[in-house]
Structure 1
């Protein structure tokens, strides 16, 4: 018997590759089961969150919505304001300890994402490490790479490859691992992003992937052209701005404008935090002379 068509494939794929508006636009999928309808709504609302429309998600998801949608609303609340963060974290801990809903994969995924934002990778892994979905396993790959444990990341990637080697998330996770390992693997990572750019709509995520590969290979001019193209698509994308800062420094070009834009739109970005720490250390060093 032929397998039923995956009605959410296009929507899911757009979301994974960072084509968030396209994901929202392709959300009108009919004849879905209740479970698939919830997944569709989660992907659409997560796309709105990725575009910065946090308040829209908070307004539209009411208290009677299913657990996965409530979890997505918590992520929107967390990102909406620093005042909400403690409340959101205590709510998510409470839900995760509830036997009835604590094992929901979307709730565990959102918990992992929130604790990654908190720079608490061990806490994130408490909820994501058992996996269960491609997204959870892909998030594990990201967390282990942030912890500089490419050996554990590789084990997670193998799980994904056994489930579906051609899955978009498996390909993305392979590229992330290749970038972390470096050397000859950089070219393999580049080919994955190149393949995406030939098959699907070009997004900031794909362009940044290609640019980072070029930076690793020392092709800074090519990297800059990909990043400027990404900037045309989204002038506030934090990764594009951060990568442009790095690229400009290598090319001997002024980077202060990109750094200022990043500071204004994403003051909590790691590059901004590191740059502020470096400035403070420099100021302290000057005072001692």
Structure 2
């Protein structure tokens, strides 16, 4: 008889973006019931959750580094996942892929999809997705990865992504990850009012969720509404966010153009 998977619920909470639930669950899983590898995986999910919500990020990265220093990474999928997470957080995608590119489990493949999309290499992301679909088409991570790729591909694929997020929202509690996914689909389809409603629901769940604040900034601008409040909150929560940097760069360019014309 197979031994029970004590971390199944914890993993799934992390997959769907229920990071606070994952943090709470990881701390309540009894250590005596876990194998040494499961203990490492539990701690990895805990610190990756902190990174995902933007809370104690540097401390969480440091703890992941400590876990890695205790053992050779080698072919261990849990350790390779932690290494990939660290370098992706630091936007060193080439170094992240050194640890994750060969796959090994669904999480590594899903992380590869995310990394390649961040690198604007949707072609490579699609290849990783096809491997995931061959392994388990119904896996939560396969569904999420499909939606991520569909959103990037655009066009009719956006509707397919919307159906995936809708299905996930019926299976699981509406997390910020799922709500933002549905909102992005609505924005791509020009339904900014629907997107705004979904994003405000997400903001009520977590007022410090960086992606919600970024998407609300963009959504508000498209609706002709003030966006300063959300942008300022985003600057406080995640000053290194791509949207903050882009808008700061645009403002600097505008100021230089004004000075040149003065």
TM-score by length of 2: 0.88
Partner of 2:226: 254
How far residue 281 of structure 1 moved from its aligned partner, in angstroms, is 1.0
Distance across 2 between alignment mates of 1:189 and 1:55: 30
Distance across 2 between alignment mates of 1:193 and 1:238: 19
**Which of 66, 70, 81 is residue 109 of structure 1 equivalent to?**
81
Partner of 1:264: 236
Show CA shifts across 1:230-269 (max 9, x none). Answer: 0001111110000001101110111111111111111111
How far residue 165 of structure 1 moved from its aligned partner, in angstroms, is 1.1
Show CA shifts across 1:98-146 (max 9, x none). Answer: 8x33443333323323333333322322221111121111111111112
Distance across 1 between alignment mates of 2:203 and 2:29: 31
Q: What secondary structure does 1:44 align onto?
A: helix
Asked if the contact 1:42–1:72 (Cα under 8 Å) also holds between the matched residues in 2, the reply is: no
Partner of 2:38: 36
Distance across 2 between alignment mates of 1:273 and 1:284: 16
How far residue 184 of structure 1 moved from its aligned partner, in angstroms, is 1.0
Distance across 1 between alignment mates of 2:58 and 2:244: 28
Distance across 1 between alignment mates of 2:73 and 2:82: 13
**Which of 155, 177, 193 is residue 221 of structure 1 equivalent to?**
193
Unaligned runs of 5+ in 1: 59-70, 78-90
1:57/1:263 CA distance change after superposition, 3 Å: closer
Distance across 1 between alignment mates of 2:220 and 2:21: 31
Unaligned runs of 5+ in 2: none
Partner of 2:52: 50
Asked if the contact 1:212–1:223 (Cα under 8 Å) also holds between the matched residues in 2, the reply is: yes
State the structure with bigger RCO (CA 8 A, min sep 6), 1 or 2.
2
Partner of 2:19: 20
1:209/1:55 CA distance change after superposition, 3 Å: closer
Asked if the contact 1:72–1:110 (Cα under 8 Å) also holds between the matched residues in 2, the reply is: no
Show CA shifts across 1:164-198 (max 9, x none). Answer: 11111111000001101111111111111111111
Partner of 2:209: 237
Q: What secondary structure does 2:138 align onto?
A: coil
**Which of 79, 93, 102 is residue 130 of structure 1 equivalent to?**
102
Distance across 1 between alignment mates of 2:147 and 2:189: 14
Partner of 1:80: none
Aligned length: 258
1:103/1:4 CA distance change after superposition, 3 Å: closer
Partner of 1:65: none
Asked if the contact 1:211–1:226 (Cα under 8 Å) also holds between the matched residues in 2, the reply is: yes
1:288 is aligned to 2:260? yes
**Which of 239, 264, 275 is residue 247 of structure 2 equivalent to?**
275
TM-score by length of 1: 0.81
Q: What secondary structure does 1:26 align onto?
A: helix
How far residue 40 of structure 1 moved from its aligned partner, in angstroms, is 2.3
